[in-house]
Amino acid sequence: MALIILSLGIIFFTQVVFMYYASYVNESAVVIHPYIDAYLGGYGNTVYAELALLFALILLLRFWLSRTKSQNTAANILKGLSGKLIGIVNFLILLMALFGNGVLIYLKIIEKNPIQIAVTGNGYAEIGIVFCMIGAFSVSRRTLSQK
């Protein structure tokens, strides 16, 4: 249950970053829609929020796969994938997202870079993303598989 709450927290904080970006570029010449542009990368400004969003979605997939019953061979293969392959991919995404969001926290809070603050917010959403990601990744496999 803690994994679901932390994943939803990550999704919430990434939406805050996307909304800040969308409100910043609302008056500019965005082709489709500012919110969709934030999901498409936002000229590189929202890439780390997207990595955090991908991390949260993979965590939810991992949680769902850990809850499948091992009645057939396909379920056993999916459980093996959720433990090994998805764990490795999610760890790599975690490293990239933590590094990127950590750099943004540094630029927004320590350096007080006005351009970064104007484009994607004041930095508190990135702090929430980092704390939720560390908490979600530290949920043990044993806690995850308990019913």
- Residue at 47 is within a domain: yes
66 vs 80: CA distance, rounded Å: 9
Listing DSSP states for the chain in one string gives -HHHHHHHHHHHHHHHHHHHHHHHSTTS--SS-HHHHHHTTGGGTSHHHHHHHHHHHHHHHHHHHHTS---SHHHHHHHHHHHTHHHHHHHHHHHHHHHHHHHHHIIIIIS--HHHHHHH-SSHHHHHHHHHHHHHHTS-HHHHH--
Q: What per-residue confidence (pLDDT) applies to 141?
A: 58
What share of the chain in percent tops pLDDT 90?
34
- Residue at 128 is within a domain: no
Q: What per-residue confidence (pLDDT) applies to 3?
A: 84
**Residue 145: pLDDT band with limits 50, 70, 90:** low
* pLDDT, mean of residues 51-72: 81
pTM confidence score:
0.84
- Residue at 81 is within a domain: yes
- Please state the domain count of the chain: 1
Range of the domain at 14: 2-123+136-145
- Residue at 129 is within a domain: no
Q: What is the mean pLDDT of the chain?
A: 83
Instruction: Report pLDDT digits (tens) over 78-110.
Output: 777 667 788 888 889 999 999 999 999 999 999
